[in-house]
Structure 1
């Protein structure tokens, strides 16, 4: 009898929500196969984790080679060749003077560490984050997360000294504003924090996603990101970029911040860094990291040699497969297909994104209000038609596209086709 999730559900905490009840046996490229042998197109890829798709042979070979040598010995105790080499490779591709790395295990852990680093370096107590942001669910990460109130329910208050500014997505700004007006409005809102709530000399860092992920795949204007950089420079505030979802080529450049011509002081990495293995990283300059003295932060599993081996394989394939070129080419193609979808289906109220970080929004055609119930029906129909999807945004009415970065045109056509057919079957 095939394994069923419902038979094991009672052994698992409901806190870790499930998007589907599928029990997956194996994966290959853009697809996953369940224990019944059913094939599913995966348009989420572990929430942007599998940069090269499922079961990439190069990543798999690197993992096997390292496992045969050593699984772990704690990077606190000894050094591993793969981890040392990965730190060097990250320094080579990191922007500006960034190139000193602390390895961790997940994005939220990197967020927490970066907040500690900022406080240790500046000796200042406060942090500024943005509405619409998502940085993780651990206590520190949750305290700077503002993508939806339900994440914070039952956990208030969070860390003290955290203030939220407005991010220039249209839902957070006065109606009728164009892109540059939203940028000016939000920069003014940020500056008002210094007038009314917190002295800039008490702010250790401003943390932001260069492109918001969980909050809705919103791309800000370059003038806003550059304006935040200028504010940080003026007051000696560290700028932390959360590149956990937007980094590693997802936007068509190695780092999303490069799309705006801005280099942060600290950069948090995760998701795609190790081809599906649990790994994250905090990357900064030697000058800033020098204030993080031995014992001020750490973890038992950070810098795992198997994850590092996978990370090296990922970066090698970025060059061999010319991943960034593919992201830009296929991202433009996907944008065009989604725009065609919007014209064909009135419930699709918006198409947005950059590179292969794209989203559509489901709205009620009569008044443009969010339609999460329409998204729910479309998601269920897509699953019936063997495609795995995921939503985003505060109202849960956005659908994100986080395909593998080496996705093919055929896979994009198949995915958009399933979505088109699913909406048609529901009468949307």
Structure 2
């Protein structure tokens, strides 16, 4: 079986990173139709929280599949979905315990934006440069990571304003963390002063740690500064935890690192261990303004996905997965720091837990997206699947399973080391 034989039947809109046809997967590895096994540091773009085909997730899916596949959650209730809503409320921060289930991340973002407008009766949204929230019209309207995503689709949803996120790329050269924090908060204040009155803003939407934007970790002062401004002006804070949440950073949700609780939170990707599921989670007070019929879904809350999601939460508890993420994430960071010492082209190592990234730059400091492309190609040839990131497409992010083993980290680092050894060294 060759991908080229099927390309005429697929839309070119979905960019393909490889031509591989994967037939099976187990844990940190996936195997193609030719029987070639790959070390998978992509995992469906941070979807497989427990790796490919975790036995408890598979067992839960099988059991549920024999009972009921769907009857539409807007017509009837399912035991697995009801239990999942309750279990989610037990692990979410603050009073975020009212759940609306959806199917994917962009859909959850669209729902969160609608909910914010419904609650506040205000029109405007504020998002951040460098952000990625999805490609539906609503999600794309608050996405600022690459202009090409928005090209040809204007006009998008109106009354959306962008302000800088405190990454090095979006702030004046040479600024340290404190200066970037102050600069970006000042820019937000200028936005309120010159472009949109804060009493017209329904919500500020942010990734507590930017994903596609480069795994950028802001300062605690920045995130708390955003929360303070939301409180001051009656603006809702939406945290997009679709990639950063569900244990990826060593806490259940990345916002917990900053001691900030949003008013609305979106989750997805890892929630159902590989099946398509997402959710909009809010306080009961906010969710109460989403009256019957104001939003809906045919497949959201699917019992099969919910059963898988319950199994994921079981494994989190039984295997003390957050402790493992912190331990192995620290180890991964150390190994990446060692690579940075060895290779001058690695200009930055950043992240929390198992949300780690390295950035490639040329000797003059300019983004080295061309080098990243060569490194990724070399890794693929050595049977390692990798994932890029960053506004300039010069970052490599690591999206291993949360239960990744030390020897699997070592294997991946060794491959990257071998590939980099062919290029510029210190």
TM-score greater than 0.5 by the shorter chain: yes
Match of 1:408?
405
The aligned counterpart of 1:136 is 134
Paired position in structure 2 for 1:294: 292
SS at match of 1:277: coil
Write the distance in 2 (CA, Å) between the matches of 1:93 and 1:377. 41
Q: Which runs of 5 or more residues in structure 1 are unaligned?
A: none
- Structure 1 length normalisation: TM-score? 0.99
- Of 409, 420, 425 in structure 2, the residue corresponding to residue 423 of structure 1 is 420
| Distance in 2 between residues matched to 1:358 and 1:157, nearest whole Å | 35
Query: Does the 8 Å CA contact 2:343/2:424 hold for their aligned counterparts?
Result: no
Q: Write out per-residue CA displacement over residues 114-152 of structure 1, whole angstroms, 9 at most, x where no aligned residue.
A: 000000000000000000000000000000000111111
Question: Partner residue of 2:272?
Answer: 274
Equivalent residues, number = 425
The corresponding residue for 1:187 is 185
Aligned residue in 1 for 2:217: 219
SS at match of 2:419: helix
2:65 is paired with a residue whose SS is helix
Q: Please point out which of 395, 401, 404 is paired with 2:392.
A: 395
Counterparts in 2 of 1:60-139, with a 5 A limit? 60-139=58-137
1:36 alignment counterpart: 34
1:284-311 alpha-carbon deviations (Å, 9 max, x no partner): 0111111000000011000000000000
Q: Tell me what 2:173 maps to.
A: 175
SS of 1:351 mapped into structure 2 = strand
Stretches of 4+ aligned residues off by more than 2 angstroms: 425-428
* In 1: Cα distance, 2:156 partner to 2:390 partner: 22
What do you get for the CA RMSD once the two structures are aligned?
0.7
Question: Contact 2:344–2:424 at 8 Å: present in 1 too?
Answer: no
What are the residue-to-residue correspondences of 1:287-366 with 2, within 5 Å?
Answer: 287-365=285-363
1:204 partnered with 2:198? no
Q: How far did residue 425 of structure 1 move?
A: 3.2
Task: Write the distance in 2 (CA, Å) between the matches of 1:131 and 1:426.
Answer: 32
Deviation track 1:168-216 (CA, whole Å, cap 9, x = no partner) reads 0011001111101111111110011110000100000000000000000
**Gaps (5+ residues) in structure 2?**
none
**Equivalent-residue separation in structure 2 for 1:260 and 1:24 (angstroms):** 39
- Contact 2:246–2:253 (8 Å) recurs in 1: yes
TM-score (norm: length of structure 2): 0.99
* Alpha carbons 1:19, 1:390 under 8 Å: kept: no
Deviation at 1:393, TM superposition (A): 0.6
Mapped to 2, the partners of 1:238 and 1:280 lie a distance apart of: 20
Distance in 1, Cα, partners of 2:253 & 2:348: 25
**SS across alignment from 1:425:** coil
Tell me the secondary structure at the aligned position of residue 421 of structure 2. helix
